[in-house]
């Protein structure tokens, strides 16, 4: 049952076996698995319950509806703009449906360095399979290549770079291209239409429009949560109290640590909020003679993984995927001012773009600002700067090889190249704070797992060291960058966490 907050006109108290905070990739899975196992569950979500009927395909309406802070949250020095979903179903509602299993080399590294020996690829294989079947994950192919992805594939093949088709959790996609602002046709198999639907049918009470303030705990044991319920009949916010002996934090790698702070949960080693990885990406654009119309069709269907060699090193490297944005977002992100900016927008229909996702070694942190809101401290280290510069050079090479007449780099002022030798400008300019601009969809690592309590906050099942009944089931739990888009990793680990909760009861 999804609770309609507009019917509420007084304080509310609920009781359940488990309270799940957050309804995205992690929280939805935990809720559905626990309900199937016979547990009573309450799911709390800060965002609103939007359905496909509310998805207007208008950017100025949908970014505020589906994203935290109406679209993006900048790091303290504005180097990276971070986008996070804030709606029932979390970031999966605005996702691009990218499905990657956790690389086996990353899991082996976690086992060796952090003692997570029970998270080997063979151990997680059945969980990957289970999640992918639930989401109807399937391979993309030539039929799913739009012109933008064909540019990436053509450039990679001409240069001999390794590439492959991606896997997605979408069914009978119409190719409308509005993935980033919600699917009006319900063709994404996202958290709301799969796991949350099953949880609701099974009896879970799902409450949107709730700001969770604290996890209640006493003498090392969880008691429940408290918060405020908005969007009520009277227009006032009312207190919400959930009594539950088990609480699962699944609010994402930015908000789960903030809840940890507000709740005064134990953290003797001051690990909460640290070890933040953003999996940041930058975009290199190419202008072509022929129409590209990058906004049409499936945004990401092809991947170049030539530059992520995890067999050689589990640190560093980057992935390349086609990038596209709708007009408002494009205008906000393109460099230059005045006539330069107008000229770039006039060529919007003939512009292709490539996004380079860094497997970042940089460790940032989350802390509270003067208003009690999450503040992101994150500055690329020298190794990641070198990877970013390499990515920009490769982007130029790929686009010129595919036939681009000019290439635009993501610096604040317009840097447009017309010949391959001009690529050397990347070395001359380097990487500075807020120049070039980086984006992020995949923050992770702020409440890390590990065998040793002195080096981690959680065990390999997401159970908190030293707090009975407290679990975490989102991308916070990764001890390092996971190197790939994290949706399937989060869901597979969340399935294990739900199994552990059922066994512990």
Supply the residues annotated as catalytic. 442
Q: Tokens 């190719």 sit at which residue?
A: 175
350, 288 Cβ separation under 8 angstroms: yes
Q: What are the φ/ψ torsions at residue 290 (nearest 5 degrees)?
A: -90, 160
Residue 129: CB partners within 8 Å, gap ≥ 6? none
Residue 426: CB partners within 8 Å, gap ≥ 6? 389, 392, 393, 396, 409
How many residues are there in the chain?
A: 505
Name the nearest CA neighbour of 399 among 145, 151, 164, 158: 151
Name the CA dihedral angle for 414, 419, 422, 426, rounded to a multiple of 10 degrees: 60
Residue 75 in tokens: 């790091």
Residues 355, 98: Cα–Cα separation, whole Å = 14
42, 20 Cβ separation under 8 angstroms: yes
Neighbours of 40 (CB within 10 A): 17
Residues 412, 427: Cα–Cα separation, whole Å = 16
Complete DSSP assignment for 409-447: E-SSS-EEE-SGGGGGHHHHH--BTTBS-EEES--B-SS
Complete DSSP assignment for 442-479: --B-SS-B-S-TTT-SB-TTSBBTT-BTEEE-SGGG-S
Angle, alpha carbons 321-290-390 (nearest 5°): 35
Report the SS3 class of residue 176.
Answer: coil
Query: Which residues face 287 on adjacent strands?
Result: 351, 406
Residue 275 in tokens: 């070890």
């Amino acid at each position: 049952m999804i609770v309609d907050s507009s019917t509420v006109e007084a304080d509310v108290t609920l009781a359940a076996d488990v309270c799940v905070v957050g309804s995205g990739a992690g929280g939805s899975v935990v809720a559905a698995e626990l309900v199937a196992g016979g547990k009573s569950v309450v799911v709390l979500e800060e965002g609103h319950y939007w359905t496909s009927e509310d998805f207007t395909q208008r950017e100025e309406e949908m970014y505020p509806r589906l994203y935290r802070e109406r679209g993006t949250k900048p790091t303290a020095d504005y180097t990276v703009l971070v986008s996070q979903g804030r709606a029932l179903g979390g970031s999966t509602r605005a996702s691009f449906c990218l499905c990657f299993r956790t690389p086996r080399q990353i899991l082996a590294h976690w086992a060796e360095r952090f003692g997570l020996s029970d998270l080997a690829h063979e151990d997680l294989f059945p969980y990957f399979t289970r999640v992918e079947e639930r989401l109807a994950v399937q391979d993309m192919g030539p039929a799913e290549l739009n012109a933008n992805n064909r540019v990436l594939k053509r450039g990679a093949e001409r240069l001999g770079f390794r590439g492959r088709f991606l896997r997605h959790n979408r069914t009978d996609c119409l190719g409308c291209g509005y993935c980033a602002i919600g699917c009006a046709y319900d063709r994404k198999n996202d958290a709301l239409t799969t796991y949350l639907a099953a949880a609701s049918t099974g009896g879970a009470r799902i409450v949107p429009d709730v700001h969770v303030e604290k996890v209640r705990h006493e003498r090392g044991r969880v008691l429940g949560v408290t918060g405020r319920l908005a969007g009520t009949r009277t227009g006032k916010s009312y207190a919400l109290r959930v009594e539950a002996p088990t609480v699962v934090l699944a609010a994402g790698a930015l908000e789960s640590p903030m809840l940890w702070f507000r709740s005064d949960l134990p953290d003797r080693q001051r690990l909460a909020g640290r070890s933040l990885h953003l999996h940041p990406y930058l975009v290199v654009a190419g202008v072509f003679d022929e129409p590209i119309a990058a906004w049409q069709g499936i945004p990401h269907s092809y991947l170049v993984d030539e530059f992520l060699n995890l067999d050689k090193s589990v640190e560093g490297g980057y992935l390349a995927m086609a990038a596209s944005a709708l007009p408002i977002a494009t205008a906000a992100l393109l460099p230059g001012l005045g006539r330069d900016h107008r000229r770039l927008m006039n060529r919007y229909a003939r512009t292709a773009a490539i996004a380079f996702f860094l497997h970042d070694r940089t460790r940032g942190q989350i802390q509270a600002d003067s208003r009690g809101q999450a503040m992101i401290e994150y500055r690329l280290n020298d190794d990641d700067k070198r990877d970013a510069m390499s990515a920009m050079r490769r982007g130029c090479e790929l686009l010129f090889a595919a036939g681009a007449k000019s290439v635009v780099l993501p610096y604040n002022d317009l840097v447009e190249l017309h010949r391959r030798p001009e690529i050397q400008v990347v070395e001359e300019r380097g990487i500075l704070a807020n120049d070039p601009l980086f984006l992020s969809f995949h923050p992770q690592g702020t409440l890390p797992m590990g065998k040793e309590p002195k080096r981690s906050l959680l065990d390999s099942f997401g159970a908190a060291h030293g707090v009975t009944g407290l679990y975490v089931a989102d991308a916070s739990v990764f001890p390092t960058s996971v190197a790939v888009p994290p949706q399937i990793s989060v869901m597979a680990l969340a399935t294990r966490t739900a199994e552990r909760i059922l066994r512990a009861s």
